[in-house]
Structure 1
Amino acid sequence: MEVAGRYLHRPARGRGQGCGPHRRLRLRPRGTPESSLVGRNALGPVGDRRGRTARSQRELHVERPASRRLREPGRRRPLVQSAAVTEGLFDFVIIGAGASGEAAAHYARARGASVAIVDRDLFGGSCPFWACMPSKTLLHAAEVRAHGGDYPWPKASDRRDYMIVREHRDYPDDSDHVRSLERAGATAVRGTARLAGPGRVIVTHEGTTHDLETKNVIIAVGSVGKVPPIDGLAPAGYWTNVEATSTRTLPRSIVVLGAGPSGVEIAQYFARFDVRTTIVAPRQVNPTDHPRNSRLLAETLRRSGVDVRTGVRAQRVRPRAGPDGEHVVDLSDGSSVSAAVIQLSVGRTSAAALGTLGLETIGISYDGADTLTVGDDLRVADNVYAIGDAIGHELSTHLGHYEGEMAVRIALGEAVRADFRAIPRVVYTDPEAAAVGLRLDQALQRGIDAFEDTIDLTRTSKGYIVEADMGHVTIVVDRANKIVVGAFIGGVGAGEAIHQAVLAVKLRTPIDTLAQTVNAFPTTSRELGGRFASAALKLR
């Protein structure tokens, strides 16, 4: 690669990097695009400092910068080696290199298709750096500490930094993700992508423009945390998942607005490290889950020291109006809570990325919604597909992987469609809560003659062994077809045991077959098998 002369090499189109010669291709310079620093003003003076740093280094960011998100002196994020091209035709151009985009790229290369994948920030996306991996690492450390282990915060913070490749630096290193894509033969491009009509994508980076021609486009732009229009929130400042998973200094106190999976997990690990923690839920905790799971999660948080406020909303923030300069959040029931940090877990949106993507150039009238609407073919236009957070299904890495691979399969002409009936959902607290498929009320609304079969986990062999004092295993059964359409587990091992039910829902396995399947004793999976056997007897 010879950047100074604006020449770069692109991996050959074969199945591996060694298949065929590299071609020497010229890049065209263009005017420097403005950096996008989403949410910087909401951070106040700290955000202004971050903004000046980023602008001076001509960086492009997908999410609002995290706490202490500073670049190493004299370094900036380079144009990735295998830059985009001005000639030739790709089979796929993938816009976004998060979990779903990476999965699509790797699968397409495994099928022998040529791929360019573009991202303006971290290759790998949120999951390895600002979401799944750091949050689960901190949950583990907090669990060890809560059960008497030696795991102080500095040790937990260091371990988290190791997991997100941020040791002895202030921003994660995504080079492993880039190298993995390049080893697979994909062309990785750092920059901002915009559609420019059917089969054409323009990418800009630091004054350079790259014209990409492609047979298929996959939109995998990810999402950022929503910022609700609450009076006083902007001057007070706030955290999203980025700051909550990357902070190296524990806040004195925190109020988490929103009680979905992310908010619940964040609340537990901060509380277990002795941070005064409040969580505010407009409805129940984890509101789309089974009520038994929701109750278990609420009680789990209370036992961890979290002040759980359900059925209320934040109506106003009074910056620095509380003790020791804490922010006061006024709630809809007339009460209030104060905290040094306001953490937002009120949902995700892809609107900012979608609004600047140039969807109108491919005939899509975008209305500013949080997500795009697609069917089971994941198609938004001819030869254009959308996956991951941008289509608004369950926001999870495992679903993103599935959607990425399915989009490629569909684009390559396979007679397949995405199936969203059996997607596992897990909250990784201690203990866990897991789910798949339909609740009883959802099944009945769809006209299914359904019933529940449940058992109190505390009255099972597994429950006795681990001294459980709460938990359950519940299944939802289609009486007419004698199949399982939903399953819910709260308690030890829930996140592992749920997968037997995932397969059962996916394959529409007869309940009698499930009842005859042998599960090891004593496990949570065996208790799930017991529910299958119980339901099978009821259907005789």
Structure 2
Amino acid sequence: MTESLETDVIVLGAGAAGENAAGRVVSAGLESIIVESALVGGECSYWACMPSKALLRPGTALAEASAVDGSREAVSGSLDVPAVLRRRDSFTSNWDDASQVQWVKDTGIGLVRGRARLTGERTVEVTDDAGTRVTITARHAVVLATGSVPVEPPVDGLADVEYWGTREATSSSEVPGSLLVLGGGVAGTELAQAYARLGSKVSLVARHGVLDSLPAPAAKLVIDALEADGVEIHGNTSPERISRDESGAIVMDLPGGQRLAGDRLLVSTGRRPALDGLGLEELGLDPNSLRTDDSGLVAGAANWLYAVGDAAGKVLLTHQGKYEARATGSAIAARAHGEIGFGEPPAYSRFTATADHTAVPQVVFTDPEIAMVGLSPKDASARGIRVSETSLPLSVAGSSLFADGYTGWAQMVVDEDRGIPVGFTFAGPGVAELLHAATIAVTGQVPLDRLWHAVPAYPTISEVWLRLLEKYGL
């Protein structure tokens, strides 16, 4: 027997984006039901942002203490691996979603467990592990917040070898003696450093280079740090074959006859929206080319289907997904209440997520960190913006106090026709905390002659703002 339910808004996926979308519509007086087949809280809470940063932070804290004369003398020994893993487990609530389920209940959101499939306009069928089916009909909207899944690279033999994805790497109860990492992007790089500092012998293989999409001086600082941590880097190459040898070790054959072996293999070669099996094809929608407007509304779905976060495929970052979800939830509620129509709402309203156009912030939580927002010189030029680039070593009183021998780098990209900054990159220990000021400057389109009057406190790393403006010529 199939149970039938009705609500205002159905949200598929109880990760950070889905929770924010549902919470937003409920706070506006609508009803909402979230459908989730795994843990409420999603990837970020249990297998991505939180556990990966929990694995990284102890090594960074130890390095910071060891980088200051007076405290380094008090540092002895290495990381306590069991303690690091216990602390990591605490941030995932030991992979128990009871507290998140309680939040959903307390917020007034309904929860249905199971796998969802769109069966018609505003209609979703949910099947749980026991085969029980529930049909849910939405009065106003269905929101896809199903996140993303890893992309498996086409490497000969990989499908026959048991390997780690980022989920297994962030939740592992063991630190392997040796670890092969395939992928030089953010997740692969962060986890390579985390495991190297926990005691693994790490070899990292990157098809292009390590963090090759980021400014080269910033990436170089991270590469140098990885090598100082003992990570063996093989850039601009790809494995020809992956297999297991007679001893059970995982073997990676590289071009030229080079062979790497490890106890474990981590594959981190990108992610794609998790839209398979949702029934989009039956609705005339291609899951490989889903398009949304700035309110999250899916093109071709007759004004009822929305997508947010990784599922929308715009920017695969948790904070960006939460931001999109808040805008989408507000737009759905406003449309339900007749406050706005279905034409695209104005930019910079609470009904549109426009930050992905010009001002996406991102942090690489390696040691040193890389924090960036906005456009690179190349991206800006491709948009027809006439820009200048100002960069310099991050060397101010605040950085020298932060760590002996502090090494960092900063870059400012300026739209010369408007006299406003359109991008910033900072690289160095502790620079993540500089990022929100940069995000405000880019989002707010703050003119440089006004930014010059934002006086950085002395002695802080934020003095780099003054140095960038001085070098620019103000």
Give the structure-1-normalised TM-score.
Answer: 0.78
Paired with 2:248 and 2:418, the residues of 1 have a C-alpha distance of 60
What's the secondary structure of 1:355's corresponding residue?
coil
- Partners of 2:44 and 2:406 lie apart in 1 by 33
- AA partner of residue 319 (structure 1): R
2:329 aligned residue: 408
The counterpart of 2:148, out of the listed 191, 206, 223, is: 223
Report if aligned partners of 2:5, 2:134 keep a CA contact under 8 Å in 1.
no
1:418 to 330, 353, 374: 353
Which residue in the other structure is 1:454 paired with?
Answer: 391
Higher relative contact order (CA 8 A, sep 6+): 2
How far apart are the structure 1 equivalents of 2:268 and 2:466? 35
In 1, distance between residues paired with 2:292 and 2:194? 36
Q: Displaced runs of 4+ in structure 1, greater than 6 A?
A: none
- Indicate conservation of the 8 Å contact 2:79/2:198, yes or no: no
Q: 2:48–2:167: 8 Å Cα contact kept in structure 1?
A: yes
Contact 2:398–2:462 (8 Å) recurs in 1: no
Whether the aligned pair in 2 keeps the contact of 1:443 and 1:450 (CA below 8 Å) is: yes
Match 1:98 to one of 15, 33, 42: 15
Match of residue 289 from structure 1? 214
Residue of structure 2 in register with 1:153 after alignment:
81
Alignment of structure 1 residues 267-282 onto 2, 5 Å: 267-282=192-207
Identity rate of aligned residues, in percent?
35
1:462-488 Cα deviation digits (max 9, x unpaired): 332222442111110011100111100
Matches within 5 A, 1:82-481: 86-88=4-6, 90-146=7-63, 147=66, 148=75, 151-166=79-94, 172-205=95-128, 206-214=130-138, 215-320=140-245, 324-332=247-255, 334-350=257-273, 353-366=274-287, 369=288, 372-380=290-298, 381=301, 382-411=303-332, 412-413=334-335, 414=340, 415=345, 416-419=351-354, 420=356, 421-457=358-394, 459-465=395-401, 466-481=403-418
SS across alignment from 1:292: helix
Matched residues, number: 441
- Change in 2 beyond 3 A, CA 1:217/1:533: farther
Supply the distance in 2 between the matched residues of 1:127 and 1:235 (Cα, whole angstroms): 28
The residue matched to 2:93 in structure 1 has which SS?
A: coil
What does residue 17 of structure 1 align with? none
CA gap 1:145/1:464 in 2 versus in 1, 3 angstroms: closer
Please, which runs of 5 or more residues in structure 2 have no aligned partner?
67-74, 346-350
Query: Against the structure 1 CA distance between its residues 137 and 365, is the aligned structure 2 distance closer, same or farther, given a 3 Å change threshold?
Result: closer
Aligned counterparts, 1:505-520, within 5 A? 505-520=442-457
CA contact (8 A) 1:422 1:502 kept: yes
Q: Please tell me whether the aligned partners of residues 256 and 263 of structure 1 are also in contact (alpha carbons under 8 angstroms).
A: yes
C-alpha separation between the residues in 1 aligned to 2:236 and 2:452? 39
Residue identity matched to 1:471 = G
Which amino acid is 1:511 matched to? L
Task: Indicate conservation of the 8 Å contact 2:399/2:460, yes or no.
Answer: no
Q: Distance in 1 between matches of 2:406 and 2:233?
A: 20
User: Partner residue of 2:70?
Assistant: none
After TM superposition, give the deviation of residue 536 of structure 1 in Å. Answer: 5.5
What is the CA distance between 1:265 and its match in structure 2? Answer: 0.8
Q: In 2, distance between residues paired with 1:190 and 1:258? A: 34
The CA deviation at 1:496 is 1.0
Contact 1:315 1:330 in 2 (8 A): yes
Structure 1: which 5+ runs fail to align? 1-27, 30-84, 167-171
Output the CA distance in 1 between the equivalents of 2:448 and 2:211: 29
Q: Matched residues in 2 for 1:112 and 1:377: separation?
A: 19
Cα distance change of structure 1 residues 384 and 532 upon mapping to structure 2, 3 Å threshold: farther
Q: 1:334 to 1:480 in 2, by over 3 A?
A: farther
User: Which AA in structure 1 matches 2:453?
Assistant: Q
Give, as a single letter, the amino acid of the residue that structure 1 aligns with 2:276: G
What is the distance in 1 between the residues matched to 2:103 and 2:168? 27
Q: Bigger CA drift: 464-473 or 185-194?
A: 464-473
Q: How does 1:3-22 map to 2 (within 5 A)?
A: none
Match of 2:437 in 1: 500
In 2: Cα distance, 1:164 partner to 1:188 partner:
20
Match of 2:359, SS state, is coil
TM-score with structure 2 setting the length: 0.89
